Copies of this chain bind each other. A is one copy, B any other.
């Protein structure tokens, strides 16, 4: 009998829930609004309802599900499944997420940081699955990180390890949400891209970037693709920051693969070509040819399958 798991990609805006087979195939999924503003109890109750509906639609009972895996933003105590600190879900600090969801659904539940869950998903289902030394970087509202070393998720002493977005790439650079200046997140997240675009609005008022109804990271990358100067300068700054950070990861972890995911990874070649072109400047010769940088190919369902892999990983 095939093992079945529920994977939940808990996002600030929407939450994706899927029933996942051990092969990574998604049997069925649903997407619901997260509505963080309604408070954590309402959010978790809505998620548990969606799980029950999904199981009913698939003709499955709770008993047929091995566990629920949740990929959540923030620092997670992954033994208890408690959210310790989450900048984007302020109300959730100290919230016993796993425990509450288990009570509501009757299914044992495990919670992991969403970027750790991303790299677990790559490790379980991605193009380089099973690779023992791999690093995941997720570019979205923030910049997340997850590290597999010697075939295991590296969590560090308190489970906070792998905060790759808070490596400083430009001391004295832009203020980061974490309070430091010049973290990777302050220069290479979607938020940072939009901030940089706003800063350029006086000098380059006629840039393509400002002709869209809404200024988003996608608009900036699309404008750069059209040859827009200001947008190109922003993309250069983003890829340079990523190259510095990835050079650091290479020296520190000696990984085989660095995989870039998250919404902004959809910028594709513009992002990856820039990083690859700049990396040699920041990497010692003895590390040449020891690593590869690629874009995640799981993008659409990476959150769900990654969250599911938390359960498969715990029990494999």
Chain A residues close to B by CB (< 8 Å): 75, 84-85, 132-133, 145, 147, 149-150, 152, 154-164, 166-171, 178-180, 244, 247-249, 251-256, 281-287, 290-291
CB-defined contacts of A167 to chain B, threshold 8 Å: 167, 248, 251-252
CB-CB under 8 A for A166 and B251, given A179-B284, A284-B178, A284-B180: yes
CB-defined contacts of A152 to chain B, threshold 8 Å: 150
Tell whether, in the assembled complex, residue A254 and residue B166 are in contact, meaning their CB atoms are under 8 Å apart.
Answer: no
Tell whether, in the assembled complex, residue A248 and residue B133 are in contact, meaning their CB atoms are under 8 Å apart.
Answer: no
**Bound-complex Cα distance A291 to B157 (A):** 9
Tell whether, in the assembled complex, residue A179 and residue B132 are in contact, meaning their CB atoms are under 8 Å apart.
Answer: no
| Beta-carbon nearest neighbor of A84 in chain B | B286
CB-CB under 8 A for A290 and B160, given A179-B284, A179-B285: yes
CB-CB under 8 A for A161 and B256, given A75-B286, A84-B286, A286-B85: no
For the complex formed by this chain, how many copies does it contain in all? 2
CB-CB under 8 A for A287 and B160, given A150-B152, A166-B251: yes
CB-defined contacts of A155 to chain B, threshold 8 Å: 150, 254
Other A-B pairs beyond A149-B156, A159-B254, A166-B248, 9, CB < 8 Å: A84-B286, A145-B252, A156-B253, A156-B255, A157-B254, A162-B254, A164-B252, A167-B248, A178-B284
Q: List 10 A-B contacts (CB under 8 A).
A: A133-B157, A149-B149, A150-B155, A156-B253, A157-B291, A166-B251, A166-B284, A178-B284, A249-B252, A252-B252
| Beta-carbon nearest neighbor of A257 in chain B | B157
Tell whether, in the assembled complex, residue B168 and residue A248 are in contact, meaning their CB atoms are under 8 Å apart.
Answer: yes
Contact of A168 among B161, B163, B244 (CB under 8 A): B244
Tell me the minimal C-beta distance from A40 to chain B in angstroms: 18
**Bound-complex Cα distance A284 to B179 (A):** 7
Question: Which of A164, A252, A291 is packed against the most chain B CB atoms within 10 Å?
Answer: A252
